Structures are given as C-alpha cells and as structure tokens.
Amino acid sequence: MSLDVGPSSSQSQHLSPNLSHQVPHKRRCVTYWKPSKYLDEPRPPAPDAREREEEAATATAIAAGYEGRRARRYMHRRTVDYWGTISVWKRHRGQQCTPRHDAVLRPSPHQVIHLLPPAAYAESASSVANVPVHTSTNKVRCSVNIVRWLPEARRLLTGSTSGEFTLWNGLTFNFETILQAHDSAVRAMEWSHSGSWLVSADQNGQIKYFQSNMNNLQAFPGHRDAIRGLSFAPDDQRFVTASDDSTLKIWGFDEAQEESTLKGHGWEVKCIQWHPTQALLVSGSKDNLVKFWDPRSGTDLGTFHGHKNTVQSVRWNPDGHVVASASRDQSIKLYDIRAMAELDTFKGHSKEVCSLEWHPFHHDLLVSGGSDGSILYWSLRSSIPSSPIHTIEAAHESNVWSLQWHPLGHLLASGSNDHTTRFWSRSRPGEHVESQDEGDTAASDDRWGTYVTSSSSSVPSEQDDVIPGLSTRKPLAPNHISKESVHLMTNNDDMIPGLGNSSAWARQTHRRAERRRANPGGWY
C-alpha cells in the first residue's frame, strides 16, 4: 500500500508553466473626491441694482439743481412667514412621547429656529403681538372702519369710509388690489363660517353679498339708517344685523329676506354678535345696555346695566361661556351667561374703548383698542386680571376702530381713524421693544415676561447682530454693576459650566460627607 505525498511528475510538469508565468499584481489607483463648485472664497453680496439706480438718479437730480422732494429710499420689506413654525411643530409632535409636552423657549435670539405657532404653547405669554411689523396706507387717505382676514389666511381685507375694499398681502404686507364695493362708508362685514361668502353693510343701510373672488352677486336695502354690526349664525343659514334705527334684524341668507325684527333697545344699536355654537345673540347699544336675545322667538332673555355710556363692542369668548363688552365709559366688562352675572371690570384705558377681540387659541387673552390710539392686552389667567399685561400707548394716532387676530394667532391687524392699517407680530425670543423717546428697558409691570415695553415702534436688540461664538461683551456701566455681578466676575475662574461656582459646589459636597460620617447608614 502506497501513500500519495505529492503530485506526480506529470502533474508537476503541468503546473510549473502556470506558476512560472504568473502576472505580478498591479497597484490600484484611488481617485479622491475634490470639490468642483463654490471654489471661490466667500464674498459679500452684490449691492441691489434698484438701490444703485436710485442713488444714481438722486445724484443726477442733485447735480441738475433739483430742489423738490428727495426720492424715497428703497427699503427691504419685512416678511413674517408662519409656515416655518408649523413644520417645526409637526416634527416635535411626531417625537412627543407624553400627553403633556410643554414647549419652552429660552430668551435668546438663537432660539428663534425653535419658535412654534401659538397653538403649541399652553401659556398666552408668547402670543402677545407687541412688535409693529408694517403700516399700510391707501393713496386716498380715509378712515379704516373694519379689518377682516380672508378664510385662507393669506390676505387681509379692509373696509374704509370711502366705501372701498382694500386687499393687503398677509405675508409681505404689500398692497394687492382695491375695489369700490359700496357707495357710502363700509360699517360692517363678515365672512361666513364656510369661507365662501362675504356679507358687508354700509352707512346707507345697504347689504351686499360677495364671493371669495370679490364678485358682487346680491345687493338689497336692509335698514333705514347705518348698519353698525353683522354676524353669521353657526350654520351660515342666517345672519343678524344691528342698525342705528335701534333694531336688530335676522335675515335668511339664501333667500336674502328678512325673517324677524328684534326691538328692545331705546337708542342706536352699535354692535351685535351671534353665539359660536348656540341660538343666542348679544347686542350693545347707545342706551348703555347689553342685551341677550333668542333669535328663534325674538324675545329678550336678559339685560345688563353695568355700563355708564355707549356700548361700542361685544365679543363672545370662543368657549361660549363669557362675553366681553367695551364702552365709552373707559371700561371693559365680562359677563358669565351660565350665572347671568358680571365677572369682572377691566379699567386701563384713559379714554373710551372702541374695539375688542379674543385670541383664537388662547381664550384667556383679550386685546382692546381705545380712542386715544392705544392697544391693551388682558389675560384672565394673570395674577391681577383687571390690570393689562401689556400696553402699547401710541399704536395709532386716533381711534382704533377694528382689531382681528390672524387665524393662526401670530399676527394682529388693526384699523384706525388715522387712515392706516397696521400689522403687529409677537416678539421673537430675546427680542426687546424699546421706547421711542427714552429707550427704556423692559417694563417692570410685565408679569408675563414678554420682554417688551409700551411702545409704538420697535428697535432691534443688540443681540440680533451677535454672531454665535464671536460676540464681544461690553463692559457694564459703574452704576449698573451689582455685588453679585462683581462676585461672579472676580470668581470667574471657579465657574463650572452647568454647575455654577466650583467652590460652593465643593463646600456642599464636603458638608454632605461630614453628615455621612456623623450618621453612618442613616439619612443625611
């Protein structure tokens, strides 16, 4: 028996040629990635062509001896975009792991990327619209009597004394179009809950129907005198109007016919609103009364005699349990319909109160406009509800006739007797609104910590120009340096990030160790 210990001679002769002619291994060439775009160094942006053209035109006019009014300088229009906050909120809700997940923002300009829409916050402090964004004025200067956001929330519609509808962009706040809707001053207008129809009324008592594209389909006389208020029923089948002829009328929308007339006020009826969900009306009149009505039977359900002058505005809280009324006696009163009793009286206006509006999401937040041009914010959850949480003293130069929140709650539109429509936005994290005259810091009575003061104009904070990681701290003035700040500056070397002063932390740890040794195995 033989053992095979290796290949045979024939096999070795067969393999040797292959081994002797083996090709040597080639080195592989690796091509590394190299950038092909944006190879130039960063450069500042090129100047705007429009600005250069305007500067050239101004220089030419000055050289030619032109002494007229200087050309208006082109200004970049501010944009308030709400979509960025909605996308961030949607991402946060997808990552939410508990039913109660309150969003909190730190007071820093760098936290603006985490800003969420007002509906995401449990508190109404972040929804106070105190920053002036833009002022819009028609070429024909006339009083703006009413402002209403379109149902799609991208545009604002205003009605003026000249009978014109003006459409403003709700993102960049520029003028879009104008329409001669009425022959006399527009006094009231309201969108249906479905968003398909707009009903407006004027000084002559005319009522008109408009589609969303501003196409007028119906016009008919409603009252003998001016119509001051208009409101839709929850199902949009009916609407009610209030007039200076001291009557209320309920109309069938489809038939454009009067169904009933409500009489009970002794003077001009200035305001009316239908309950958000129930068959209940509330009206205010020049006879100083606030009345509640049943629209089905036309009966007077109750009357409040709290005001001492004309009731100019009434507004149901979105919850439907509380109604607010504003009067020329400089007060705002809250009534609870469940107990048919007065809840509270707000006094903060120095002159008569002209308009009211509740926030669409934070139902404790109420905004009011006065005849002196001021806008005040009130909160039912404040420690002192009868005191305003924020005041804008010179929001307008005359009566604030109308106020309305954006459907998302981040913008407030106001129309005034000073011929302007103004847009107000909530402040960004860490943003301060300083006084126009004295440049004061945040108001001490701002109990909500909104970092704002009473002002008619906004001054950007110094932190807006700070580059993260490259900022320089300015030295404090001697009269602003406190003992605590001196202690922190002198002991800056002992600071542990996130833990405060290291020596204090060491002393606390030492005391715990002493208690542990004195009481082994027990509580310390």
The predicted-structure confidence for 413-425, as pLDDT tens digits, reads as follows 999 999 999 999 9
E strands, 341-419, are: 341-347, 353-358, 365-370, 375-379, 390-392, 400-405, 411-416
| Amino acid symbol at 318 | P
Which residues touch 23 (CB under 8 Å, ≥6 apart)? none
State pTM to two decimals: 0.71
- Overall average pLDDT of the 322-350 stretch: 94
Binned at pLDDT 50, 70 and 90, residue 499 comes out as: very low
- Domain contains 166: yes
pLDDT of residue 45: 79
Q: Give CA 315 to chain center in angstroms.
A: 19
Residue 232 placed within a domain: yes
pLDDT at position 502: 44
On the question of pLDDT at 433 being above 60, the answer is no
Residue 23 lies in a domain: no
Split at pLDDT 50, 70, 90, the class of 67 is low
Work out the average pLDDT over 166-171: 94
315-320: average pLDDT: 95
Q: Give 258-296 pLDDT, tens digit per residue.
A: 999 999 999 999 999 999 999 999 999 999 999 999 999
Residues 6+ apart with CB under 8 A from 418: 373, 396, 397, 398
What is the arithmetic mean of pLDDT over 320-336?
95
- Tell me which residue of 340, 338, 310 sits closest to 325, measured CA to CA: 310
In this predicted model, what pLDDT tens digit does every residue of 356-373 receive, in sequence order? 999 999 999 999 999 999
CA 324 to CA 317: how far, in whole Å? Answer: 7
State the average pLDDT over residues 378-382.
Answer: 93
Which range has the worst mean pLDDT, 18-27, 46-55, 265-274, 485-494? 485-494
Quote the tokens at residue 111. Answer: 């936290």
Q: CA neighbours within 13 Å on the CB side: how many for 170?
A: 25
Q: What is the pLDDT of residue 329?
A: 94
421 within some domain? yes
36 within domain boundaries: no
Write out the residue range of the structural domain in which residue 384 sits. Answer: 131-425
Q: How many independent structural domains does the chain possess? A: 1
Q: Is there a domain that residue 319 lies in?
A: yes
CA distances (Å), 381 to each of 29, 122, 124, 362, in order? 72, 12, 9, 10
CA distances from 518 to 100, 359, 504, 510, 514 (A): 43, 59, 21, 12, 6
What tens digit of pLDDT does each residue of 435-468 get?
444 333 333 334 333 333 333 333 334 444 444 4
For residues 335-357, give the mean pLDDT.
94
Percent of residues, the chain, with pLDDT higher than 70: 74
* pLDDT of 341 over the 60 cut: yes
CATH of the domain at 313: 2.130.10.10
Confidence of residue 519 (pLDDT cuts 50, 70, 90): low
Condensed to tens digits (0 to 9), the pLDDT of residues 15-35 reads 444 545 565 666 777 788 888
Residue given tokens 């961030």 in the structure block: 88
- Mean residue pLDDT across the chain: 80
The answer, yes or no, to whether residue 227 has pLDDT greater than 80, is yes
pLDDT score, position 293:
95
Residue 198 lies in a domain: yes
What pLDDT, on a 0 to 100 scale, did the predictor assign at position 218? 93
* Mean pLDDT of the 321-346 span: 95
Confidence of residue 40 (pLDDT cuts 50, 70, 90): confident
**Does 60 or 454 have the greater pLDDT score?**
60
Phi, psi of 125 (to 5 degrees): -65, -35
- What pLDDT sits at residue 448? 39
Residue 354 burial by CB count (10 A; 0-12/13-18/19+): exposed, middle or buried?
buried
Q: Are 413 and 154 in contact (CB under 8 A)?
A: no
119 in a domain, yes or no?
Answer: no
Distance CA 443, CA 450 (A): 9
> Cβ(163)–Cβ(184) under 8 Å?
yes
Higher pLDDT, 89 or 227: 227
